[in-house]
Amino acid sequence: MGPRLSAGLTAAACAAAVSGCGLGPGPGTSNATLTVTKGFGAVPVAHTSERHVPGSETVMRMLERHLRVSTRYGGGFVESIDGRSGSSSRLDWFYYINGVQAPIGAATTAVHKGDRIWWDLHDWSVTNSIPAVVGSFPEPFVHGTAGRRLPMTLECAPDVPTACARVTKEFQTLKIPFASQIIGGGSGTDSLAVIVGTWQDLAPALVAQLLDSGPKSSGVYARFTNHGSSLALLDPRGRVVRRLAGTAGLVAATADGSSPPTWMVTGTNGSGVDAAASALTPAALHDHFALAVHGTSRLPVPLDGLR
């Protein structure tokens, strides 16, 4: 059993605290977006963009300016957005900024330039910590976290040159600088990493151990089986609902504790990695927590989210 991610927050703490923001006035910022979905991104609820964001804006204030929000527990946490409610058992609102789960409540989180703020109502019976998602791509590579752009490394296995070239071209097209290195070289504790290789290539890495341990450790509702030759897709309760045998690919992200996320472009074999690399685009990943690829099918995971 590989190491487990620290949950960090209870489900309620991942929702929005609405008091005591403590942020002073400022000049404001620009180009922030707000997305609201349910069922791990399966059902769109609302989307808006703001070219100019008021000074001292918080994630909570931005949400309240655009949608109807109700709270519970004495006004401390989000109960409903636009009439859609969580429950005290295993359904709640969570939010992510630039594809990274927020570490604190929305009332104390400032909005920075270019932030992609994403609220999602989903089942947390398997895990209340999904540290990173891919559906805000090209974030967090463009604007980073908390207003600070992070350095990035691209680690490629030598047996997937086509996939590596595709991923390289995508980041070059997006004008995102990165350092290239052989897989396993390590990205440092303050860098975003993208690892490209078959599951066998990734197997020694910490992120692979997290995926092997299931979504409670990684936040990813998919795992490779049969020594990496097949890909099992899970539902929100962590049950295997589909197995992809043969050529299959996966684009997913996770993190160890508070470290920056590591993205995986991987697959059962070289062709599976090629398929995953082809899906590393804003259009293909839009509003997905992770994405499996099998032939011409692109399958957001977890499968069968709330609809």
pLDDT in tens, 165-175: 999 999 999 99
Beta-bridged to residue 81, according to DSSP, are 69, 84
Q: Could you report the per-residue pLDDT of 227-245, keeping only the tens digit for each? A: 999 999 999 999 999 999 9
Beta-bridged to residue 84, according to DSSP, are 81
Closest CA to 200 of 170, 254, 157: 157
List the single range of 47-51, 160-164, 211-215, 254-258 with lowest mean pLDDT.
254-258
Mean per-residue pLDDT for 183-202? 85
Interstrand relation of 240-245 and 152-156 (parallel, antiparallel or unpaired):
unpaired
Q: Is 186 exposed, middle or buried (0-12, 13-18, 19+ CB in 10 A)?
A: exposed
Beta-bridged to residue 293, according to DSSP, are 249, 298
What pLDDT sits at residue 189?
66
Amino acid making up residue 43: V
- Answer yes or no: are the C-beta atoms of 268 and 246 closer than 8 Å: yes
Average pLDDT of the chain is: 87
Task: For 205-246, give the DSSP string.
Answer: SHHHHHHHT-HHHHS-SEEEETTTTEEEEE-TTS-EEEEEES
Q: Could you report the per-residue pLDDT of 13-37, keeping only the tens digit for each? A: 444 333 333 344 455 577 899 999 9
What pLDDT sits at residue 307?
43
Q: Could you report the per-residue pLDDT of 77-89, keeping only the tens digit for each? A: 788 999 998 776 7
What pLDDT sits at residue 185?
65
Cα 208 to Cα 264: distance, rounded to the nearest angstrom = 9
pTM: 0.88
Per-residue confidence band for 195, with pLDDT thresholds at 50, 70 and 90: very high
